[in-house]
Amino acid sequence: MTYLEILGWARKGVIAEKENYRQMQEKALEGQAHDIAGHCQKMIDELDVRLATLDEIEELHNRK
């Protein structure tokens, strides 16, 4: 397994986790549970940061 494959698997996992939080957020909003929806948004934002970090790592790897 190559370094880029590992980054790809990590990215897929983060994207799947982000999608789960989006679904939870939608359900929370439907049920008027704004606190839970806010928590889900916070987690989605943190996962966006992780994805950006993975992108930066891949970019650094590709520069070599």
Sign, CA dihedral 21-25-26-27, equals: positive
Residue 11 near residue 51, CB atoms below 8 Å: yes
Task: Using alpha carbons, select from 20, 19, 21 the residue that is nearest to residue 39.
Answer: 21
Q: Provide the pLDDT for residue 21.
A: 97
Q: Where does the chain have alpha helices with state H?
A: 3-30, 34-63
For residue 31, what is the DSSP state? T
Under the banding of pLDDT at 50, 70 and 90, the label for residue 3 is confident
Return d(Cα 15, Cα 2) in angstroms, integer.
20
Summarised one tens digit per residue, pLDDT across range 22-41 is 999 999 999 999 999 999 99
Q: Provide the pLDDT for residue 13.
A: 97
Summarised one tens digit per residue, pLDDT across range 5-17 is 999 999 999 999 9
User: Is 56's pLDDT higher than 80?
Assistant: yes
Read off the pTM.
0.86
